[in-house]
């Protein structure tokens, strides 16, 4: 069955780890009859956590697509991981969905990952809803969890359901829109009943608050509420829908995933208040490089964005495509815009976890799964051959943790390279680079767990023994004062010899200017034909370094004079002369090492502030400031040498008992000297000797 665009709801289900997201999805599938039994996450049999890694680690690692039909709507759900190591899956899901459902624990309230996810949603102006779960756990408090939301985020949170008791006394929820109660027992489905007498007063009070807050979603409703002091159920839904779409309101539901409590109310508010895809605009990069907007519209030519790629051992490569315009069916002509290559696809699927369901047509706003498109990669655009363009690429976060990898034996290197290439196809937050300076293959990802899981998969499935070690840092070299040098390259070995002489002056440039060259020779001391060879020699000398073999940067050079021989001079001779002159000049110019500095932002609970600041100081960090995120959470901004952060994911986890998180990006290079520089030079010399 193909759903029309305005009947589709795409929802990314996100939240801090262990808040019950996967259990909630499992109960939604069970309560709506999609599956016959809700499996526990720990069993490894749940619909959306189905890979070996997820079963063995007991956490979500990949975003998983499922869907249900609810009151004439198709609700696509992308169950996303809660661990920061797999944030790329969350970002891709946010791109594919018009709304996000944040799941928080009724016991813990807002946690660090909740705040980071909220910031991502704010940046994307993405409408959101909240489910306060685990109301059946001891210590759960609905009002306290709601207050933690209101304290930390500046928006209006609107409860549309309230719990009937908490902990062992939790028996269900009250839907404040229909004013009905829903009871649920473990393993059973929810039952609609009248509101019990002991909860009627609380329900009436909460309903009055709902009406008042829902009026804020629409200016006309504000006037109606002020005049009549109430709103109809239809008006309440209208206000919630308008306010949610504009980000002024966030509907809040509650329940307990393990018992199925709160599922019906949650599905109702998704169907009634979450945005349909119709009319939502995507940014298009045209062939001439200009940008334009394209609205989700079923009546236009086909186009779609591949937001996720997986490689299944049975089905091969699977491309998850959000259809933006038109409809996809067996008559549709596809082109991969990146490769300008036509694709023919005869079968289209939707997914319930790992189970693929063939469909005849997928219309704008819906999500299709395409199998065995060899040329397709994540972030690729598919469109008709007559109108080629690209959607804006996924804005994925930069890696924060890296290891150098190598096969335990030489024969394993090729297999390791192939395996890493396949993993990178699926996961764009994983980077694999060969560092020509350090002669290392470096795998970078979002954390230690992220990379360990990838390497364990390669060891298990590819039977490749992989060794890892801390990557070498890509230092740079530069100079601190001007200097001149003259160097003559002369070699005679019978026949034509080699002769070239150059005089150069070098000077420090501003950080980041990299390189400059000026030919100041007047007259014909050196023929013009030899000048390119001289410049090539200067660049080669800079690439090889002087102190520790690291590339030299931010050096301006001037060619002052030279001599040539009518027979023995050549471009090669002048290149070698220039290299010698650069080395001698650098030795006089007080060379120094430069180390990469990164911008670091750390998210912690305030109880760890002193320990984290002390640790940053010990890492030669410079703290730029700190901001309160509300509710005892703090972010710290600092600049720290990259060399000090190679194991920061492990260090921060130890300091904060696993609750801290961080983000980083490259900033600039700074000089280093003294013992630190001596140690770097010594290590570089030892590495060079080992590879000699």
pLDDT tens figures, 44-73: 899 999 888 898 888 999 999 999 999 999
Residue 187 has pLDDT above 70, yes or no: no
At residue 1 the predicted structure's pLDDT band, cuts being 50, 70 and 90, is: low
Could you tell me if 601 and 584 lie in one domain? no
The answer as to whether 31 is a domain residue is: yes
* Strand (E) or helix (H) holding 119: helix 112-123
Could you tell me if 36 and 185 lie in one domain? yes
- Which of 472, 489, 507 finishes a domain? 472
pLDDT for residue 494: 64
Could you tell me if 190 and 41 lie in one domain? yes
- Beta strand 592-605 with 515-519 is unpaired
Residue 227 has pLDDT above 80, yes or no: yes
Mean of pLDDT values over 10-38:
96
Residue 9 has pLDDT above 80, yes or no: yes
pLDDT tens figures, 313-355: 778 899 999 999 999 998 898 899 998 888 888 888 999 999 9
* Strand (E) or helix (H) holding 639: strand 633-641
pLDDT for residue 543: 93
Q: What is the mean pLDDT of the chain?
A: 93
pLDDT for residue 692: 62
Which of 124, 172, 175, 149 has its CA nearest to residue 249?
149
| pTM, 2 dp | 0.84
Could you tell me if 174 and 286 lie in one domain? no
pLDDT for residue 243: 96
The answer as to whether 397 is a domain residue is: no
Mean of pLDDT values over 646-669:
89
The answer as to whether 691 is a domain residue is: no
pLDDT for residue 287: 83
Could you tell me if 313 and 327 lie in one domain? yes
pLDDT for residue 576: 96
pLDDT tens figures, 462-476: 899 999 999 999 899
pLDDT for residue 522: 81
Mean of pLDDT values over 483-491:
95
Could you tell me if 127 and 89 lie in one domain? yes
- Which of 343, 359, 391 finishes a domain? 391
CATH number at residue 379: 2.40.30.10
Could you tell me if 176 and 244 lie in one domain? yes
pLDDT for residue 444: 94
CATH number at residue 409: 3.30.70.870
Could you tell me if 10 and 25 lie in one domain? yes
Domain membership of residue 517 as a residue range: 477-590
Could you tell me if 573 and 515 lie in one domain? yes
The answer as to whether 692 is a domain residue is: no
Could you tell me if 609 and 566 lie in one domain? no
Could you tell me if 368 and 246 lie in one domain? no
Q: pLDDT exceeding 70 applies to what percent of the chain?
A: 99
DSSP letters spanning 440-505: EEEEEESSHHHHHHHHHHHHHHS---EEEEPPPP--EEE-SS-EEEEEEEEE-SSSS-EEEEEEEE
CA-CA-CA-CA torsion sign (24, 28, 30, 35): negative
What is the number of structural domains in the chain? 5
Which of 618, 617, 615, 622 has its CA nearest to residue 598?
622
Mean of pLDDT values over 266-271:
98
The answer as to whether 194 is a domain residue is: yes
pLDDT tens figures, 525-541: 899 999 999 999 999 99
CATH number at residue 252: 3.40.50.300
Residue 186 has pLDDT above 70, yes or no: no
- Which of 590, 624, 656 finishes a domain? 590
Mean of pLDDT values over 22-39:
96
Could you tell me if 263 and 155 lie in one domain? yes
């Amino acid at each position: 069955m193909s759903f029309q665009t305005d009947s589709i709801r795409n929802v990314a289900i996100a939240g801090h780890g262990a808040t019950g997201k996967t259990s909630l999805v499992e109960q939604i599938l069970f309560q709506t009859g999609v599956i016959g039994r809700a499996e526990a996450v720990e069993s490894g049999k749940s619909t959306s956590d189905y890979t070996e890694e997820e079963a063995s680690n007991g956490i979500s690692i990949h975003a998983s697509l499922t869907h249900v039909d609810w009151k004439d709507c198709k609700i696509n759900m992308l169950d996303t991981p809660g661990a920061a190591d797999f944030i790329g899956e969350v970002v891709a899901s946010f791109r594919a969905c018009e709304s996000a459902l944040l799941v928080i624990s009724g016991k813990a309230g807002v946690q660090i990952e909740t705040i980071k996810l909220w910031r991502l949603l704010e940046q994307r102006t993405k409408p959101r809803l909240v489910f306060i779960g685990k109301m059946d756990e001891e210590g759960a408090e609905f009002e306290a969890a709601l207050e933690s939301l209101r304290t930390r985020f500046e928006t209006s949170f609107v409860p549309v359901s309230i719990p009937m008791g908490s902990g062992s006394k939790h028996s269900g929820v009250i839907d404040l829109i229909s004013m009905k109660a829903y009871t649920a027992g473990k393993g059973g489905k929810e039952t609609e009943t009248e509101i019990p007498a002991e909860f009627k007063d609380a329900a009436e009070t909460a309903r009055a608050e709902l009406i008042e807050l829902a009026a804020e979603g629409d200016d006309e409703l504000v006037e109606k509420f002020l005049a009549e002091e109430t709103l109809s159920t239809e008006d309440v839904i209208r206000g919630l829908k308008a306010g949610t779409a504009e980000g002024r309101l966030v509907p809040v539901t509650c329940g307990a995933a393990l018992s199925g409590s709160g599922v019906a109310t949650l599905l109702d508010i998704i169907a009634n208040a979450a945005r349909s895809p119709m009319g939502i605009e995507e940014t298009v990069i045209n062939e001439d490089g200009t940008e334009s907007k394209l609205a989700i519209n079923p009546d236009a030519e086909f186009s779609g964005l591949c937001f996720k790629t997986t490689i299944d051992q049975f089905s091969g490569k699977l491309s998850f495509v959000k259809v933006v315009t038109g409809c996809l069916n067996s008559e549709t002509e596809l082109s991969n815009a990146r490769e300008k290559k036509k694709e023919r696809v005869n079968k289209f699927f939707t997914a319930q976890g790992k189970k693929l369901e063939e469909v005849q047509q997928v219309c704008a706003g819906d999500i299709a799964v395409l199998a065995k498109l060899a040329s397709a990669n994540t972030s690729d655009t598919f469109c008709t051959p007559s109108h080629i363009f690209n959607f804006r690429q996924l804005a994925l976060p930069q890696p924060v943790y890296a290891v150098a990898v190598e096969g335990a034996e030489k024969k394993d290197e090729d297999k390791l390279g192939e395996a890493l290439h396949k993993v990178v196809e699926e996961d764009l937050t994983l980077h694999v680079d060969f560092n020509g300076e350090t002669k290392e293959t470096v795998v970078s990802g979002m954390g230690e767990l992220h990379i360990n899981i990838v390497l364990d998969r390669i060891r298990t499935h590819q039977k490749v023994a992989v060794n890892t070690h801390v990557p070498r840092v890509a230092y740079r070299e530069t100079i601190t004062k001007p200097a001149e040098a003259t160097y003559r390259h002369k070699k005679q070995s019978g026949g034509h010899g080699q002769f070239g002489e150059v005089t150069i002056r070098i000077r420090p440039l501003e950080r980041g200017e990299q390189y400059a060259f000026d030919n100041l020779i007047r007259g014909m001391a050196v023929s013009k034909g030899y000048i390119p060879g001289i410049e090539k020699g200067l660049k080669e000398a800079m690439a090889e370094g002087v102190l520790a073999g690291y590339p030299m940067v931010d050096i301006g050079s001037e060619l002052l004079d030279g001599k040539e021989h009518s027979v023995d001079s050549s471009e090669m001779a002048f290149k070698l002369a220039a290299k010698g002159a650069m080395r001698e000049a650098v030795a006089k110019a007080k060379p120094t090492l430069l180390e990469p500095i990164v911008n670091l932002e750390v998210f912690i609970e305030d109880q760890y502030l002193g320990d984290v600041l002390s640790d940053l100081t010990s890492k030669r960090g410079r703290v730029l400031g700190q901001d309160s995120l509300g509710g005892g959470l703090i972010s710290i901004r600092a600049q720290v040498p990259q060399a000090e952060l190679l194991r920061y994911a492990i260090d921060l986890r130890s300091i904060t008992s696993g609750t801290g998180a961080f983000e980083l990006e490259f900033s600039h290079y700074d000089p280093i000297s003294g013992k630190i520089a001596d140690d770097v030079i010594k290590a570089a010399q030892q590495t060079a000797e080992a590879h000699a």
